[in-house]
Amino acid sequence: MAAVLFDFSGTLFRVETTESWLRAVLAETGHFLPERRLADVTRALEEAGALPGGVEPVEVPADLADAWSVRDKSAELHRAAYTGMSRRVPLPDPGLHDALYERHMSPAAWSPYPDAAEVLRTLRRRGIGVGVVSNIGWDLRPVFREHGLDTYVDTYVLSYEHGVQKPDPRLFAVACEALAVDPRQVLMVGDNRAADGGATALGCGVHFVDHLPVAERPDALLPVLDLMS
């Protein structure tokens, strides 16, 4: 194997909890919610699937279904889909919906999994190419830089920059071309079997991890090192 492609959310990084997300924005904007109300709003935002990288929505409203299905193809669609979900939940100030969206793009909202640095560092030491292939509507590079992992990534292939989202094999093909490797010598690592499994259409191997909180998944990436040895 010559290279590894990693998904971002739920694979290398995990977004903060919905409660942390909401509390941070309320504090940043000077708003206050009583604890009981905050708990209710947190629950409603989770059910709506309003936090990108967080819990999937219980139900996608009919008027958002089209945008939701292609949300990762552009920055505009991504923002519209997620703020549309958020606006299903009443907040003290309508401007908080956009503030919530902005917050989720900040490096402070993301934490790397405990073994991410070790795995990426070891792959670099072995001379194995590393790419990040993500369905996303914004530039995640600052997250990697802030957490000291950017130096281990050779290429980023982000759906919104190409107008193509996983599982479309074209997105994986872009990454393989950028790394100058045969797809049959590439391992795709991700947490979504439907989306990340699209790499198999090119002949890539796949390895799946569970999308769990950081504290509950300390070493799920380590087997990648054995697969690449």
Superfamily of domain 3-14+110-227: HAD superfamily/HAD-like (3.40.50.1000)
**What is the DSSP pairing of strand 3-6 with strand 186-190?**
parallel
Q: What is the mean pLDDT of the chain?
A: 97
Domains of the chain by residue range: 3-14+110-227, 16-108
pLDDT, mean of residues 26-32: 97
What is the pLDDT, as a whole number, of residue 229? Answer: 80
pTM of the model: 0.96
Over residues 160-199, the pLDDT tens digits come to: 999 999 999 999 999 999 999 999 999 999 999 999 999 9
pLDDT, mean of residues 46-70: 96
What is the pLDDT, as a whole number, of residue 177? Answer: 98
Provide the CA 110 distance to its chain's centre, in angstroms. 9
Over residues 143-159, the pLDDT tens digits come to: 999 999 999 999 999 99
pLDDT, mean of residues 58-62: 96
| % of the chain exceeding 70 in pLDDT | 100
What is the pLDDT, as a whole number, of residue 1? Answer: 86
What is the pLDDT, as a whole number, of residue 40? Answer: 98
What is the pLDDT, as a whole number, of residue 210? Answer: 97
